[in-house]
Amino acid sequence: MDKKFRTIWFITIAAVLLLVLVILLQTNKTTPPTVDNPTQQVDAPVTQLGTKLQLVSLLAPSADVKTAMDTNYAPYLTPQLLAAWEAHPSTALGREVSSPWPDRIEITSTTKNTDDSYTVRGNVVEITSNEQEHGGIADMYPVTFTVSNVNGTWHISGYAKN
């Protein structure tokens, strides 16, 4: 029994060591470095904001506008810009009439200002039910955003309708 026990013990230890070796080799594998595309990260809050514009009716009662902005815009704007838009909805982006309505923001350029700030230019594309069904654009207008890195996350910190 003693010899059988030693054999089982040796096989168990060998199996554990082999498993540890495999795990170490897997974790030490060199993987190609991931290349972060800063432009995509900077453009993301602008593009994502564009998908929310139709959900904020700027002509609604002020309490409803504030609630809609908090719900739909807060993830993409700095708190300062969100507060400014909530205080003065006429300076904000959103749905101004029932039709056409803002459908998206198409980015035309992204320019680095500093390591923590970019200027993003684009167009707000508006559609009606006709364009929604058949494609196309009812209207569009140019906009410019300042996108800033706030605690490691990109947020829209400035806006101008051109």
Report the pLDDT value the prediction gives residue 29, as an integer from 0 to 100. 44
Q: Does pLDDT of 30 surpass 50?
A: no
Backbone torsion region of residue 70, taken as left when φ is above 0, otherwise alpha when ψ lies between -120 and 50, otherwise beta = alpha
Domain containing 75 equals: 38-161
SS3 115: coil
Total-model pTM: 0.76
Helix or strand run (H / E) with residue 13: helix 2-27
- What is the CATH number for 94? 3.10.450.540
CA distance 91 to 85: 6
Average pLDDT of the chain is 88
Provide the total of helices (H) and of strands (E) in the chain, helices listed first.
Answer: 5, 4
Digit-coded pLDDT (tens) for 102-139: 999 999 999 999 999 999 999 999 999 999 999 999 99
Are residues 88 and 130 both part of a single domain?
yes
Whether residues 6 and 82 share a domain: the answer is no
Based on the fold, state whether residues 64 and 83 are members of the same structural domain. yes
> Is there a single domain that holds both residue 131 and residue 97?
yes
Q: What is the pLDDT of residues 82-111, one digit of tens each?
A: 999 999 999 999 999 999 999 999 999 999
User: What's the pLDDT tens digit per position in 63-73?
Assistant: 999 999 999 99
Query: What's the structural domain count of the chain?
Result: 2
At residue 157, the pLDDT reads: 98
pLDDT in tens, 39-64: 899 999 999 999 999 999 999 999 99
